[in-house]
């Protein structure tokens, strides 16, 4: 379980430590750093795929992504009695990200290339330090693998450090040293991060990829743009929990069901059968809210569970209901919170239909709420299956 997210010197976040719980909602006015917090999670996920340096370069490099305020903020500035002014930098340029977990924790430190130079890749930062340790708190005795500039050391079974190994400045040790024998902890952390899923840019407009027919192949994890939603739903029906899918559809659209039909050439198409209609509706005909609900259901009910940040056990169900609340109380609380925080459509969260043991409840777990409305960036849900909570 990931319990803490830490960000330092990233965009509008100077120094932030956030505790993650099974239900984490970040609220605030526009420009206060909600999107930066989410993008920090993205950068951590990119590090597990050796893509964090490239991701920062696409954002304009460290000059564009570093904390934009002064290095030191005095009391008069915090009180508003003195204007914000630039100061002379005395510390090295550093962008730090990390998370703390019950089992393992990870941190990474980006900095400017040493010596400058005339490289054509001037926007590429370098990875200065990385560390993996046991438990939520960083202590010297808990460190299992560490990187200092171009040198990586791994602690062995007998607590002895390995010989120093070299690594290139733009490569992460998560990708270069994830060996099941020599560094199983590195491999475990890397795979844990890679299991995170981000569905922040799922489109439902007329030209959305989810509205077109798709090549039919088993899809245990829906793609981040939802382009393979039909294959994902059919995979749930054949190898996952088809009954939960049927229940989720009926919960939102009473008397309706979803099928996936072949459209020739190995392509699959989504169909929604609704009571009172003589023919099913294709994905191209669905409303934005209906399509969005089906996309979220496909992401949630995936046969291959995800390792969500702060989500207890990985997967589609929460580790606990919290306190002594029974399933009905949890269902009602989630519905109320979701209706208040996510004013989308009743097709997404039908009010009053989440009843105790028989309901499948989808509730947004991580939302970014601003003055301009609700912007759901990271889909994380609680699921109450028939028969109650696990």
- Is 214 found in the same domain as 188? no
Cβ burial 93-122 (10 Å sphere, 16+ → b, else e) = ebbbbbbbbeebbbbbbbbbeeeeeeeeee
- The 3-state secondary structure of the chain reads CEEEEEEEEECCEEEEEEECCCCEEEECCCCCCHHHHHHHHHHHHHHCCCCHHHHHHHCCCHHHHECCCCCCCCHHHHHCCCCCCCCCCCCCCCEEEEEEECCEEEEEEEECCCCCCCCCCCCCCEEEEEEEEECCCCCHHHEEEEEECCEEEEECCCCCECCCEECCCCCCHHHHCCCCCCCHHHHHHHHHHHCCCCCCCCCCCCCCHHHCCEECCCCCCCCCCCCCHHHHHHHHHHHCCHHHHHHHHHHHCCCCEEEEEECCCCEEEEEEECCCCCCCEEHHHCCHHHHHHHHHHHHHCCCCCCCCCCCCCCCCCCCCCCCCCCHHHHHHHHHHHHHHHCCCCCCCCCCCCCCHHHCCCCCEEEEEEECCEEEEEEEEECCCCCCCCC
Question: Is residue 381 in some structural domain?
Answer: no
The domain boundary residue, chosen from 270, 300, 330: 300
Tokens of 179: 């060996």
Same domain, residue pair 141 and 269: no
Contact of 283 with 269, CB cutoff 8 Å = yes
**Average of pLDDT values for 196-204?**
83
Mean pLDDT, rounded, of the chain: 75
- Among candidates 346, 306, 328, which has minimal Cα distance to 384? 328
Look at residues 267, 300, 333 and tell me which one is the last residue of a structural domain. Answer: 300
Q: Domain check: are 44 and 94 in the same one?
A: yes
Using the predicted structure, report yes or no on whether residue 389 has a pLDDT greater than 50: no
**Same domain? 119 vs 267:** no
What is the predicted pLDDT for the residue at 1? Answer: 67
**Within-domain flag for 98:** yes
d(CA 299, CA 362): 11
My answer on whether 217 and 183 are in the same domain is no
- For residues 165 and 241, membership in a common domain is answered with no
**72 and 169 housed in the same domain:** yes
* pLDDT value, residue 200: 75
Give the Cβ contact number of residue 324 at 10 Å: 6
Q: Is residue 150 part of a domain?
A: yes
The pLDDT of residue 330: 39
Most confident of 38-47, 78-87, 271-280, 347-356: 271-280
Q: How many domains does the chain have?
A: 2
104-135 pLDDT, tens digit per residue, is: 999 999 988 876 667 777 778 889 999 999 98
- Higher-pLDDT residue of 74 and 119 is 119
Same-domain status, 73 and 147: yes
Please check whether residues 73 and 11 belong to one and the same domain: yes
The answer on 224 and 89 residing in a single domain is no
Provide the b/e sequence for 278-294 (b: ≥16 CB within 10 Å).
eebbbbeebeeebbbbb
Domain end among 300, 332, 352: 300
In a domain, 355, yes or no: no
Q: What percent of the chain has pLDDT over 70?
A: 70
Q: By C-alpha distance, which of 184, 190, 196 is closest to 304?
A: 196
Predicted confidence (pLDDT) per residue in 262-302, tens digit: 998 899 999 999 988 999 999 999 999 899 889 988 888 88
φ/ψ (deg, to 5) at 271: -135, 135
Residues 159 and 249 occupy one common structural domain: no
Kindly state whether residues 13 and 157 are assigned to the same domain: yes
Cα(68)–Cα(13) distance, rounded to whole angstroms? 9
Cβ-Cβ contacts under 8 Å for 62 (sequence gap 6 or more) = 56, 93, 95, 110, 111, 112, 125
The strand pair at 143-148 and 165-166 is best described as unpaired
Would you say residue 252 lies in a domain? yes
Range of the domain at 224: 209-300
In a domain, 380, yes or no: no
Please state, in angstroms and rounded to a whole number, the distance separating the CA atoms of residues 195 and 187. Answer: 12
Q: Is the pLDDT of residue 319 over 50?
A: no
Give the per-residue pLDDT at 361: 34
Any domain includes 229: yes
- Residue 32: band (very low, low, confident or very high) from pLDDT cuts 50, 70, 90: confident
- Domain for residue 344, yes or no? no
């Amino acid at each position: 379980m990931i319990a803490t997210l830490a960000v330092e010197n990233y965009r509008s976040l100077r120094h932030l430590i956030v505790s993650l719980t099974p239900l984490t909602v970040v609220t605030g006015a526009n420009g206060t750093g909600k999107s930066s917090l989410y993008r920090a999670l993205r950068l951590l996920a990119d590090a597990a795929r050796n893509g964090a340096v490239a991701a920062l370069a696409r954002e304009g490099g460290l000059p564009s992504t570093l904390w934009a305020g002064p290095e030191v903020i005095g009391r008069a500035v915090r009180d508003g009695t003195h204007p914000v002014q630039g100061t002379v930098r005395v510390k090295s340029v550093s962008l730090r990200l990390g998370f703390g977990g019950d089992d393992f924790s990870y941190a990474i430190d980006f900095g400017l290339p040493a010596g400058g130079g005339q490289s054509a890749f001037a926007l590429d930062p370098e990875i200065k330090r990385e560390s993996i340790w046991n438990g939520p708190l960083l202590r010297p005795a808990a460190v299992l693998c560490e990187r200092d500039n171009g040198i990586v050391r791994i602690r062995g079974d007998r607590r002895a450090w390995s010989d120093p190994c070299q690594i290139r400045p733009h490569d992460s040790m998560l990708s270069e040293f994830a060996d099941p024998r020599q560094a199983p902890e590195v491999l475990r952390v890397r795979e844990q991060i890679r299991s995170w899923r981000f569905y922040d840019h799922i489109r439902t407009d007329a030209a959305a990829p989810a509205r077109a027919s798709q090549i039919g192949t088993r899809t245990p994890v829906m793609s981040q743009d939802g382009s393979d939603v039909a294959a994902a739903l059919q995979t749930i029906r054949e190898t996952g929990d088809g009954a939960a899918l049927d229940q989720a559809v009926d919960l939102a659209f009473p008397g309706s069901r979803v099928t996936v039909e072949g459209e020739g050439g190995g392509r699959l198409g989504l169909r929604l059968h609704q009571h009172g209609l003589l023919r099913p509706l294709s994905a191209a005909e669905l409303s934005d809210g209906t399509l969005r609900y089906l996309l979220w259901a496909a992401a949630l009910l995936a046969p291959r569970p995800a390792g969500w940040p702060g989500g207890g056990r990985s997967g589609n169900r929460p580790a606990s209901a919290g306190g002594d609340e029974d399933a009905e109380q949890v269902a009602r609380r989630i519905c109320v919170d979701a209706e208040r925080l996510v004013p989308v459509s009743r097709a997404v969260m039908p009010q009053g239909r989440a009843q105790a043991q028989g309901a499948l409840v989808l509730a947004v777990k991580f939302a970014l709420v601003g003055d301009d409305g609700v912007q759901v960036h990271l889909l994380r849900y609680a699921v109450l299956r028939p028969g109650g909570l696990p």
